[in-house]
């Protein structure tokens, strides 16, 4: 096992990884930007190194500074968390070059899955169902027209280097197509430095259902069931739950096997996620794979009792998975609300600043993953998540009641938060019936239409 790990991240996920390390008896090194000096992850770690100025580009994305800090502190491994360098194949490769274990999959696998066109090709060969769409890169308007005539409208144009909905465009008809194509290509070029795009048939009112994967370096691969992440706003997830109210045991088994098959095709190890869209007839289609620990991993931990971050670290140390597929049992229901410093009454605009009173909920089945505390300042340089509120109940109804109770207990003063918005979602009759899909927030959460 590792003696010392560096966490190349900040906030709640850095705290989460430090907790896992402590339980495994591993020493920890935090990295921080100048304004983060007093933050919780720095206080909790055994050692801490300043890696640069406030701007993420100069600190949490500063690869030379992070690698030299890791070498200076003589760490055995680096955990990247999510965001920042978590899916940077160059960083993962450089860690290995410097004899530091990168806690995640192989750099080549990050690279492969980061290219959504290559990922589609790979899993298709393995027999995984895809959203009907273009074969590979769409090079020209002529080719796009041809693909569109074949599969029909509406359709989606997506960036090969995108993911999570970044650089997505909808075309309703042939008139839309040229502009949508040009816009998607321009956006992709600007955002990712790669203007490759592909096309997919538009799936109406889909569910976003993803499977948690765990694999070791010895070829063992299992799944920990699904998460339902259908509640999104502008491609930002707001609330996630596990299991999915749309799922049954038969479909879970089938999709789980397909998810493992997709991961196996990539020779995947570490924790990862296979994302699917599921249509109203319960047809499911692979959309992409995430090669990192995800924000919403706690809902899976709550219903399986498995500490995914600890497993990820053990796997990186070369250990064999000790959990067998048949050992994975789903118990009860978990819901996560992302509590952001954003103003839901002002188009979710960021609301950074110093928190006043901060009183967290507690009691049975309540978990908070956060790096915030009373008088903590939400910095404007990084993302606006204050923390995650996760609840467990024996069934969905109990989880919903508990979430409402916990949201009401949660007091965060002086900054606007998404708590009032979450309370409205939880009270919504359609949400309570489990009727959540793509346009839920637009269709059901507008002011005159929320019952």
Least Cα distance to 299 among 340, 346, 255, 332 occurs for 332
Q: Which residue from 106, 108, 110 is spatially nearest to 316, judged by alpha carbons?
A: 106
Size of the site for ligand MV4 (CB under 6 A): 16
Our answer to whether residue 233 is catalytic in this structure is: no
With CB under 6 A as the contact rule, the residue among 18, 131, 138, 144 that binds ligand MV4 is 131
Beta strands in 59-215 (DSSP E): 77-79, 101-102, 155-159, 169-171, 197-201, 207-215
User: At closest approach, how far in Å is the CB of 200 from ligand MV4?
Assistant: 4
Mark the segment that binds ligand MV4 (CB under 6 A) among 199-207, 303-311, 375-383, 404-412.
199-207
Of 10, 169, 185, 292, which residue is the catalytic one? 292
C-beta closer to ligand MV4: residue 79 or 158: 158
Q: How many C-beta neighbours within 10 Å does residue 199 have?
A: 27
> Distance between CA atoms of 184 and 196, rounded to whole angstroms?
9
Q: Which of 65, 21, 3 is nearest to 307 (CA)?
A: 21
Q: End-to-end CA distance of the chain: give it in Å, rounded.
A: 53
Q: Can you tell me the distance from the alpha carbon of 170 to that of 157, in angstroms, rounded to the nearest whole number?
A: 6
Site string for ligand MV4, 405-444 (x = CB under 6 A): ---------------------------------x------
DSSP 300-321: HHHHH---HHHHHHHHHTTPPP
C-alpha 28/C-alpha 234 separation (Å) is 36
Contact with ligand MV4 (CB under 6 A): which of 82, 153, 192, 202? Answer: 202
Q: What is the rounded CA–CA span in Å between residue 26 and residue 19?
A: 10
Q: Binder to ligand MV4 among 15, 147, 188, 203 (CB under 6 A)? A: 203
Return the residue of 129, 136, 164, 352 that touches ligand MV4, per CB under 6 A. 164
The contact mask relative to ligand MV4 for 287-326 (x = CB under 6 A, - = no) is x---------------------------------------
The footprint of ligand MV4 on residues 102-121 (CB under 6 A) is none
Residue from the set 40, 156, 222, 371 that interacts with ligand MV4 by CB under 6 A: 156
- What is the footprint of ligand MV4 within residues 213-242 (CB under 6 A)? 230, 232, 235
Candidates 93-101, 184-192, 194-202, 290-298 — which segment interacts with ligand MV4 by CB under 6 A?
194-202
- Provide the minimum distance between the beta carbon of 197 and ligand MV4 in the complex, in angstroms, as a whole number: 13
Give CA–CA dist 97/427, Å, rounded: 52
Q: Please report whether residue 206 would count as binding ligand MV4 according to CB under 6 A.
A: yes
| N residues, the chain | 451
If residue 275 lies in a helix (H) or strand (E), which one and from where to where? strand 270-278
Catalytic residue annotation? 292
List residues near ligand MV4 by CB under 6 A: 131, 156, 164-165, 200-203, 206, 208, 230, 232, 235, 277, 287, 438
């Amino acid at each position: 096992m590792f003696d010392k790990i560096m966490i190349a991240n900040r906030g709640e996920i850095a705290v989460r990884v430090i907790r896992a390390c402590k339980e495994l008896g591993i020493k920890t090194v935090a990295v921080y930007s100048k304004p983060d000096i007093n933050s919780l992850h720095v206080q909790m770690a055994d050692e801490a190194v300043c890696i640069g100025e406030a701007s993420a580009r100069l600190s949490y994305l500063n690869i030379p500074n992070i690698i030299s800090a890791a070498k200076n502190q003589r760490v055995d491994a680096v955990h990247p968390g999510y965001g920042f360098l978590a899916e940077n194949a160059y960083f993962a490769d450089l860690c290995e070059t410097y004899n530091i274990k990168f806690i995640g999959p192989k750099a080549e696998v990050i690279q492969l899955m980061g290219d959504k066109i290559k990922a589609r090709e790979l899993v298709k060969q393995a027999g995984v169902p895809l959203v009907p769409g273009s074969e590979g890169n769409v090079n020209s308007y002529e080719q796009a027209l041809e693909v569109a005539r074949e599969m029909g409208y509406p359709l989606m144009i997506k960036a090969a280097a995108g993911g999570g909905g970044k650089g997505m465009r909808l075309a309703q008809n042939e008139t839309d197509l040229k502009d949508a194509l040009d816009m998607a290509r321009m956006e992709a070029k600007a955002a990712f430095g790669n203007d490759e795009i592909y096309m997919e048939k538009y799936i109406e009112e889909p569910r976003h259902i993803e499977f948690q994967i765990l694999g070791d370096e010895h070829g063992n691969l299992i799944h920990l069931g699904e998460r339902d992440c259908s509640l999104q706003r502008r491609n930002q997830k707001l609330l996630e739950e596990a299991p999915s109210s749309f799922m049954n045991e038969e479909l879970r088994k089938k999709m789980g096997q397909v998810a493992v098959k997709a991961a196996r095709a990539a020779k995947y190890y570490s924790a990862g996620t296979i994302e699917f869209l599921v249509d109203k007839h319960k047809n499911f289609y692979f959309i992409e794979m995430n090669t990192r620990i995800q924000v919403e991993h706690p809902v899976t931990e709550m219903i399986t009792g498995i500490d995914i971050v600890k497993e990820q670290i053990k796997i990186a140390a070369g250990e064999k998975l000790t959990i067998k597929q048949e050992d994975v049992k789903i118990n009860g229901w978990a819901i996560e609300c992302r509590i952001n410093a954003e103003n839901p009454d002002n188009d979710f605009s960021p609301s950074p600043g110093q928190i006043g009173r901060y009183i967290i909920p507690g009691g049975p089945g309540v978990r908070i993953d956060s790096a915030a505390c009373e008088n903590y300042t939400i910095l404007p340089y990084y993302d606006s998540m204050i923390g995650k509120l996760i609840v467990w109940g024996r069934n969905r109804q109990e989880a919903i009641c508990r979430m409402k109770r916990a949201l009401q207990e949660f007091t965060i003063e002086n900054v606007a938060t998404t708590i009032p918005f979450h309370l409205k979602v939880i009270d919504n009759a359609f949400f309570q019936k489990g009727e959540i899909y793509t346009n839920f927030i637009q269709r059901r959460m507008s002011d005159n239409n929320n019952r």
